[in-house]
Amino acid sequence: IYHKLLDLSLDFFAKKQVGKLISQITYDTGIIQGALVETLFDLVLQSFQLMVYLVTVLYVRWYYSIPWSLVVMSLILLPLVGYLVARVGAKVRKISAKSQEKMGQISSRLYETISGARILKAFSMEEREKERFDYQTLQFYKLMMKSARRTEAVGPFTELVGMVCAI
């Protein structure tokens, strides 16, 4: 990413905020790393879990002589839960993109404030800059809390569905 960044034109750098570029480089690299590791791990784990789930359902059906209608219902609920989890994941990704943008704005604000500290102090602009920074960090905090609420809601929902299937 850094090499590609250095090959870009001066016009590109004139249009972009330094903090935003720094945030994108550091944040995107972390996101890509996390996505690769989590995706590979999830692919293996979920494939294994699916096999165990199907074998368990068939074994329980055979051992307890459960009607096929209940087995089919539990097999229908599994994709439904998967769909809902995927929807929540998509919303969390959108929030994540917005939070990245906010973090870029915060990084830019920090860079501009620190590099222009003499000018800020010369014009007594410290309080105004503090308010602007506080507002931006509050917006970032709200996005992160929204993401956490959505992410944490998935666990109890899937457990509820599991309990309903067990009953």
Question: What is the residue-wise DSSP string for 14-67?
Answer: HHS-HHHHHHHHHHHHHHHHHHHHHHHHHHHHHHHHHHHHHHHHHHHHHHHT--
Task: Return the structure tokens found at 150.
Answer: 């959505």
Distances in Å between the alpha carbon of 94 and those of 85, 101, 102, 143, 157? 14, 11, 13, 10, 21
Burial of 41 (0-12, 13-18, 19+ CB in 10 A): exposed
pLDDT of residue 46: 77
Q: Per-residue pLDDT for the chain (167 aa), expressed as one digit of tens each?
A: 767 877 888 888 788 877 777 777 777 767 777 777 777 777 777 788 778 877 887 888 788 888 888 778 777 877 887 788 788 878 888 888 888 888 888 888 888 887 788 888 889 888 998 999 899 989 989 988 888 888 787 777 777 766 666 65
pLDDT of residue 142: 92
What is d(CA 122, CA 126) in angstroms, rounded to the nearest whole number?
Answer: 10
